[in-house]
Structure 1
Amino acid sequence: MGINSQEAIKKLKALMDHVDQPLKKSFQNLHQGFLTETLERFLKAREYDVSKAHKMLVDCLKWRVENEIDKILRKPIFPADVYRAVRDSQLVGLSGYSKEGLPVFAIGVGLSTLDKANVNDYVQSHIQINEYRDRVVLPSASKKYGRSITTCVKILDMTGLKLSALGNVKLLTILSTIDDLNYPERTTAYYIVNAPYVFSSCWKVVKPLLHERTKRKIQVLPGCGRDELLKIMDYSSLPHFCKRESSLSSSRSSGHQGSQNCYSLDQPFHQQLYNYIKQQSLMTEAVEPIRKGSFHVNLQVPVSKSKGAAKTIESELRKYGSGLSDTLIELEIM
């Protein structure tokens, strides 16, 4: 950390000392005691421009207060079968830790159908995992490894990816916007594995939706990426889809059965997350009733990005002929 960055952190901290009390309270929940690291994350996201970083951080805190994000880990997704449906169609899990102690999150991009629940349920689940990571997983890792650990590694599995997945671009844009604006610089690197031939077309659609700083962190690895990933993590921390010799029969190996599947609701990460939220809700319910309704986040998808994505989708699908006409759905983002 250079002199300029230290000075920027100092200036941003001074500005944050003057925010309103509700924002201060949410800020404490946001940084979890890692104040300097949190300030630097927002500064990195805005190229160390203090005024822009301050605006970004204040906007984030306002978003948290308006949408009661600080209480989201007390709000289970009801009923239980809806939560299971979310887990079965929004594939994510914690497979282990890197050699540096960073949590390794596996995301099944290709096999995530995102069609078993409504948008609000998927958004709620995504934010809950973010918050559980920030409030529980990262502080626990910091304690275990004896140093500040405030970032993670993500491995994106493209097994089973089809062009029809482009129909989920609105939801994916919402989730990426949430992360860009409110959880900046939480991921050190993104590794893409098991990329099929249609990946290039999907990438043309998704790439413009991502912030430039995010794109710089993305690496596409050959095959299942096992050899490259073993340079930064032990074999035991590899996701199940990176342990096979090849991507053949990948659908079977990425199914929802088996103790090695890090996506499974029965795996420790999801069991701990589920029980944590359940316990928090019970403690809260003893003090105040919990409203068991749909979760809504006030976040607008950038119109310019959405229109551009829709045009790219149409262009890419036409390359594959009229047989894919059913995929040319009328997206709500247009």
Structure 2
Amino acid sequence: MSTIVADSTPELLPGRLGNLTPEQQHALDEFKELIKAEGIFVSERHDEHLLLRFLRARKFHIQNTHKMFVDCENWRKELKVDELRENFVFEEEEAVRKCYPRYYHNVDKKGRPIYIENVGAIDIKTLFKVTDEERMTKQHVLSYEKLIVDRMPACTRQAGHHIEQCCTIIDLKGVSLRQFANAFGFIKRTSAIAQNYYPEMMGKMYVINAPMMFTSVWGMVKPLLDEVTVKKIVILGGNYKDTLLADIEAENLPNELGGNCECADRGGCRVGEPGPWQDPRYQNKVEKTA
């Protein structure tokens, strides 16, 4: 079971409900009225936390936010996301996990779900023997939907304050230039889904076991990124343990990453996916803000 966060009333970050400037509040109200007038507002999905994520992603520019939001809604209709949530079954999950390990595992000290991806262990050739890119994309989308519908609300209830972002750990241990090149196309496409349709959901990202080739590339890419995004990303080599443990309780971090958890009763950390979303006390009990 994950540790309940000690600080249940953290300082609200700018651009969130409860910490909006008059201009930001006006932009939220105007944007909400605009999509209501256009008939694309869905009260069950579009709470003010979600609308603010889109507004922050476009720096509260109404026209740019509107385009991003409409593009997202059109994409959801084209992919039939609501139908996927009801009907799609990813039977190859276990086989995929063996050649592309990625999973959620407890929460960090701020109450955010921890997402772990072992990029160094990706075997793209084997991956697309047991599945295909279309099914992987659908599974990726459903993972985000589950994050919003199940994981985040459970984390919110446990933490005692709104949770809408993740703490991500990208492990590059064992990655080779060829392996990275093979996987890059797929990673880029799934990253685009996150950026375009699930914005502002990354709270922190740790890239660990980063080889020299990656740090060199990062040095060139960093100046091209938004300053806010850059501040969320920490590049670490093999000596990452103390940095991770500064933000994550040892009992919430897998043993293989320097923590104490082994999920022995769940078949291992990569399979068990422990967290408040597994606790009946926190499941499906968070009311949305209209």
Question: 1:248 matched to which residue of 2?
Answer: none
Question: 1:24 matched to which residue of 2?
Answer: 41
TM superposition score normalised by structure 1: 0.67
2:123 aligned counterpart, secondary structure: coil
Question: 1:221 matched to which residue of 2?
Answer: 236
Displacement of 1:200:
3.4
Match of 2:116 among 94, 101, 106: 106
Question: 2:12 matched to which residue of 1?
Answer: none
When residues 121 and 258 of structure 1 are mapped into structure 2, their CA distance, relative to the original with a 3 A threshold, is farther
Displacement of 1:145:
2.0
1:3 aligns with 2:25: no
Name which structure has the greater RCO, CA cutoff 8 Å, separation 6+.
2
Distance in structure 1 (CA, Å) of the matches to 2:265 and 2:153: 29
**1:118-148 Cα distance to aligned partner (Å, 9 max, x none):** 1112212211111111110001111222221
Distance in structure 1 (CA, Å) of the matches to 2:188 and 2:265: 31
| Structure ID, larger Rg | 1
Could you say what the CA RMSD is over the residues aligned between the two structures, in angstroms? 3.0
When residues 258 and 136 of structure 1 are mapped into structure 2, their CA distance, relative to the original with a 3 A threshold, is closer
2:167 aligned counterpart, secondary structure: strand
- Mapping of 1:173-252 within 5 angstroms? 173-200=188-215, 203=218, 213-243=228-258
Distance in structure 2 (CA, Å) of the matches to 1:175 and 1:52: 22
Match of 1:92 among 94, 102, 108: 102
When residues 218 and 240 of structure 1 are mapped into structure 2, their CA distance, relative to the original with a 3 A threshold, is same
1:73 aligns with 2:81: no
Displacement of 1:210:
6.9
Structure 1 residue runs without a partner (length 5+): 246-253, 273-334
Displacement of 1:167:
1.8
1:36 aligns with 2:48: yes
Displacement of 1:77:
3.8
Distance in structure 1 (CA, Å) of the matches to 2:134 and 2:268: 26
Distance in structure 2 (CA, Å) of the matches to 1:57 and 1:67: 15
TM superposition score normalised by structure 2: 0.76
2:69 aligned counterpart, secondary structure: helix
Distance in structure 1 (CA, Å) of the matches to 2:225 and 2:193: 11
Q: For the Cα contact (< 8 Å) 2:115–2:168, is it kept in 1?
A: yes
Q: Percent identity?
A: 28
2:247 aligned counterpart, secondary structure: coil
When residues 213 and 171 of structure 1 are mapped into structure 2, their CA distance, relative to the original with a 3 A threshold, is farther
Q: For the Cα contact (< 8 Å) 2:106–2:274, is it kept in 1?
A: no
The size of the alignment, in residue pairs, is: 251
Match of 1:263 among 261, 270, 283: 270
Match of 1:125 among 139, 148, 153: 139
1:49 aligns with 2:61: yes
Distance in structure 1 (CA, Å) of the matches to 2:266 and 2:221: 32
Distance in structure 1 (CA, Å) of the matches to 2:170 and 2:210: 9
Displacement of 1:87:
1.9
Displacement of 1:52:
0.6
Structure 2 residue runs without a partner (length 5+): 1-19, 279-290
Displacement of 1:65:
1.5
Question: 1:149 matched to which residue of 2?
Answer: 163
1:156 aligned counterpart, secondary structure: strand
Distance in structure 1 (CA, Å) of the matches to 2:243 and 2:259: 14
Displacement of 1:38:
1.1
Q: For the Cα contact (< 8 Å) 1:93–1:106, is it kept in 2?
A: yes
**1:256-293 Cα distance to aligned partner (Å, 9 max, x none):** x99684323x5457x97xxxxxxxxxxxxxxxxxxxxx
1:198 aligned counterpart, secondary structure: helix
1:28 aligned counterpart, secondary structure: coil
Q: For the Cα contact (< 8 Å) 1:77–1:121, is it kept in 2?
A: no
Distance in structure 1 (CA, Å) of the matches to 2:29 and 2:141: 29
2:270 aligned counterpart, secondary structure: coil
**1:241-266 Cα distance to aligned partner (Å, 9 max, x none):** 32179xxxxxxxx9xx99684323x5
When residues 129 and 210 of structure 1 are mapped into structure 2, their CA distance, relative to the original with a 3 A threshold, is farther
Q: For the Cα contact (< 8 Å) 2:105–2:274, is it kept in 1?
A: no
When residues 10 and 244 of structure 1 are mapped into structure 2, their CA distance, relative to the original with a 3 A threshold, is closer
Q: Which amino acid aligns with 1:101?
A: G
